[in-house]
Amino acid sequence: MHYDVAGNRVPDRRAGDKRATVNSLGKHTNMARKVLSRKELREESEAAERSAKTKKKAAKPTGEVKKKATKRKSRAKSAKEVRLKAFWGVFNQGMKRVALYEYSQRKQADKKAAELSNSAKTPHFVQPVKEIIEE
């Protein structure tokens, strides 16, 4: 047995391990595979190569030179700068924002949370909130 990159156990074929194999999706399978004749496959591939070479020779007139394909330069998208501003938000138990205060107004936000906690009988709390500044 040996291990793949993900740390999964992979059977070692040389050691005669006949346990489950791993398919292309990374799943273990016990399915039988079609027996392939190596000689027949090799003959087919060599025949295909020979026919491709003869077609190239017949199609390619002498004296003409193909133009090289120019590679396009990839345009990297510049990351759009997103500016955030900090606020204090007063929230209820359901994480619904009840009030929003500037960052410098922490005392007012705490006072509002205390008022709402006392009057509504449900706890309210203050939490920092970051919002996107649109210019």
C-beta separation of 43 from 50 below 8 A:
no
- Any domain includes 37: yes
- Any domain includes 36: yes
CA 86 vs CA 101, 118, 127, 130: distances in Å: 9, 27, 10, 5
Separation CA 53–CA 121 (nearest Å): 86
Q: How many residues does the chain have?
A: 135
- Any domain includes 61: no
Q: Given 12, 36, 55, which residue is the final one in a domain?
A: 55
Range of the domain at 1: 1-55
For residues 2 and 49, membership in a common domain is answered with yes
For residues 3 and 51, membership in a common domain is answered with yes
pTM for the whole structure: 0.42
- Any domain includes 118: yes
How many structural domains are present in the chain? 2
- Any domain includes 3: yes
Helix (H) or strand (E) holding 23: none
Full pLDDT tens readout for the chain, 135 residues: 677 777 788 776 665 555 556 666 666 666 666 767 888 889 988 888 888 888 777 665 655 667 777 877 777 777 788 899 999 999 999 999 999 999 999 999 999 999 999 998 899 999 999 999 887
